[in-house]
Amino acid sequence: MGTAATGTTDHRKCAEECLAMARLADADSDKALWLTLAQSWVRLAEHVAHMESRATTPEASEEIVA
C-alpha cells in the first residue's frame, strides 16, 4: 500500500519537473512536449491512485479472488 502512495508522489514530482522544464524551454514545440509529458505523469499518478483505492475495497478483493 505504501509503495503505490510513494509511486503517486514520485509521478506527481516528475510532472512538476516537466512543468518547470516547459517554463524554461524557448521553442514552442519544446514547451508543448514538456507539457504533454507533465500531463502523462499526472494521468499515471491518478491511475495508480485509482487502482490503489480499488485494491483496498472489499468488492475489488472479492472480484480478484473469484
pTM: 0.76
Q: What is the average pLDDT value for the chain, to the nearest integer?
A: 86
Q: What is the pLDDT of residues 13-39, one digit of tens each?
A: 999 999 999 999 999 999 999 999 999
Instruction: Name, in order, each residue with C-beta under 8 angstroms of 21's C-beta and a sequence gap of 6 or more.
Output: 34
Segment 48-63 shows an average pLDDT of: 76
pLDDT-based confidence at residue 1 (cuts at 50, 70, 90): very low
What's the confidence (pLDDT) of residue 25?
98
What's the confidence (pLDDT) of residue 7?
82
Long-range contacts of 12-19 (CB under 8 A, 24+ apart): 12/41, 12/42, 12/45, 14/41, 15/39, 15/41, 15/42, 15/45
What's the confidence (pLDDT) of residue 56?
80
